[in-house]
Structure 1
Amino acid sequence: MELEVRHLRALCAIADTGSVRKAARQLGMTQPSLTTQLRRIESALGGQLFSRERTGSRPTPLGRTVLCRARPLVAEMNTLVAETQAAVVRAAGPHLRIGGTASRAMAGWVSRVHARLPDADTTIRVDVSANALLQMVALNQLDVAFVHEVEGAPLRIPDGLERRVLVAREPQFIALHAHHPAARQSVVPLSDVAGDRWMVDPSVDGEWDGVQRALRASGFTPRVAYGDYLTAADMVAAGEAVAPCQPTSQPRHGMAIRPLRGDPIAVELFMASRALPEGTAGEVGTAEVDALYADLVAAYREAAAAATTYRQWLARNNRPLLYVDEDELSRTAGCA
């Protein structure tokens, strides 16, 4: 077996994420495929590159030696790809690459961009992993990404990225069966759902850490089921689980959405972009990034206004519809 750049990139991803599962998600592979590839690489090199521990995968001494040589090669290849892509973009005309974790604001954001720039070729990437999206921005595979950072579970933010904070602390609500006893209350104490089975998607960066942290801080040991949030919605509607959800979420039939008392689970919402001087060749400049942020602000306001439970929470807590820096908002709106 001859080593290729994709093999080196896989080794770097495993080392950076500390997990074969997370690395597979970042690389767009299945975990079994990446595990098989890693075994073949180790067989070709004649030694174990990672030790498999309960907490994840850690480089062995041989692995650290290989990584020291692999990282510069991968970086050079990434630069080559980024420069080539930039040249293609310049030749093809206006082009925007937008990424985001799942959000009710995404559709409105993209619609506003299309209305403002009808001739631009816009590509959209939605991923459960905020870390993967941030890495794509850093590698010039995306121009901007709208992501969330779970409180107490910091993201790995690559060097050279700028953050425009949309909401400093967005409370996460709870989705539960419409006839759950706790659903009779307008605000649910965590203790009333702590004994339920909580369904979370382990591939969403920081999601389970945030839930677990909040429950354990209240003295509860959670019961958990793992799965994607489409399955979670079915489980909640069937009365088999509860699940954390965004406050902009809309309840489906058989489901109720309620805020948690004291907002023990929260996220920061921000848009990330590369730090670039205006007019950098082949890049989306500062003025356009500001305009994209203004579009996102408007889309989030619209999604928040459409969510009855969130509107009620905002009124009850004397919060404006969107609590960003109003001076910053007026500046970015002027660039739109």
Structure 2
Amino acid sequence: MELEVRHLRVLCAIADTGSLHRAARELGMAQPSLSTQLRRIENTLGAPLFLRARTGCRPTPLGLAVLSRARPLVAEFAALVTETRAAAARAAGGFQLRLGATASRAIPGWLGRLRGRVPPVEPSLQMSVSANSLLAMVAEGRLDMAFVHEVEGTPLRVPPGLRARVLVEREPQFVTLAADHPAASRRQVRLADLAGERWMVDSTVDGEWDALCRVLRAAGLEAQMLHGDYLTAYSLAATGEVVTVSQPTAHPRPDLAIRPLEGDPIGVRLLLAARTETELDEVYPELEESYWAVAREAPAYLEWLGRAAPSA
């Protein structure tokens, strides 16, 4: 077996995440396949590169030496791929852009505005619940840029060499509950009003489960936490089965109430990441315009922005 750049990416992902499970998720692989690949790499080099434990993986001295050489090679190859593709697209008279994103209502408008430019940009889109996975793909040259959110209290692992531009420094996360829930009559919902409620959160979204647990503990609440995707969570919230966290730009529905939480205890930072400032300059204005367009369509968020404006 000869080592290739993809094998070096595997080693970097394991070191960065400290876990075979998390590394497999970032790389879009099954964990058994990743474990097999790591064993083959170690057999090729003749010694273990990571110490495995129940708490995760950490590099051996040899692993640290290999990683010190692997990281710049991975970064250089990613830059080569990115620059070559961009040059080829421009030579062909077009501009193709590989975008990654976590969920946001700003994305359709962003794509539409890019396609409407002169000359047009033709974007492709890869969605993921893992912001860290998308950032790793940008660093590796598999994506040109990623629009992601960073949950407060859980910093993202931004790979070396990436440039990030903050769209919103702190976007408050709202609560979504049934339209006939007693707390829905309030302009702001207190966590105490939701005592005894079941919360449904997508635990695969980087940081969200932990953030909500911290906030509920700080409020002295022992809430039942359920895992589920947000489409399911909204459907169950409409019937009163659960309450859930939502972005403030969420589209209003007659069977749901989207309300700020008193004190705004949960927040996220929205940012766009790319390899160069030039790439950010090329698409950031369309993203910013798209985000604030959907913000103006969300009554609860618009009202919240109006209250926050004097102290901003």
TM-score per shorter chain, which class? 0.7 to 0.9
- Matched with 1:192 is 193
Distance in 1, Cα, partners of 2:140 & 2:3: 22
Tell me if structure 1 keeps the 8 A contact 2:191–2:261.
yes
Q: Deviations over 1:99-137 (max 9, x none)?
A: 322101111111111112353332223222222333333
Q: Deviations over 1:155-204 (max 9, x none)?
A: 12233333332222111001123333322322111122254332222332
Distance in 2, Cα, partners of 1:144 & 1:9: 18
Q: Which 5+ residue runs of structure 1 have no aligned equivalent?
A: 277-284, 324-336
- Matched with 1:182 is 183
Distance in 2, Cα, partners of 1:179 & 1:307: 19
Change (3 A) 1:144 1:64: closer
Q: Deviations over 1:137-156 (max 9, x none)?
A: 33444343322221222112
- Matched with 2:17 is 17
DSSP-derived class of the 1:211 partner: helix
- Matched with 2:273 is 272
Query: Is the counterpart of residue 235 in structure 1 residue 226 in structure 2?
Result: no
Distance in 1, Cα, partners of 2:178 & 2:30: 32
- Matched with 1:313 is 304
Distance in 2, Cα, partners of 1:103 & 1:49: 37
Q: Please report how far the alpha carbon of residue 4 of structure 1 lies from its aligned counterpart in structure 2 after TM superposition.
A: 4.4
DSSP-derived class of the 1:116 partner: coil
Tell me if structure 1 keeps the 8 A contact 2:78–2:139.
no
Change (3 A) 1:160 1:46: closer
Distance in 1, Cα, partners of 2:98 & 2:163: 16
Distance in 2, Cα, partners of 1:258 & 1:100: 25
Change (3 A) 1:201 1:33: farther
- Give the TM-score of the pair, scaled to structure 2: 0.84
Q: Aligned match of 2:291 in 273, 283, 300?
A: 300
Moved more, 103-112 or 141-150: 141-150
DSSP-derived class of the 1:188 partner: coil
Q: Which amino acid aligns with 1:89?
A: A
DSSP-derived class of the 1:213 partner: helix
Q: Please report how far the alpha carbon of residue 60 of structure 1 lies from its aligned counterpart in structure 2 after TM superposition.
A: 4.3
Query: Is the counterpart of residue 58 in structure 1 residue 49 in structure 2?
Result: no
Tell me if structure 2 keeps the 8 A contact 1:51–1:59.
no
Q: Which amino acid aligns with 1:208?
A: W
Tell me if structure 2 keeps the 8 A contact 1:50–1:63.
no
- Matched with 2:88 is 88
Q: Which amino acid aligns with 1:14?
A: I
Change (3 A) 1:125 1:170: same
- Give the TM-score of the pair, scaled to structure 1: 0.79
DSSP-derived class of the 2:13 partner: helix
CA RMSD after TM alignment? 3.0
DSSP-derived class of the 2:296 partner: helix
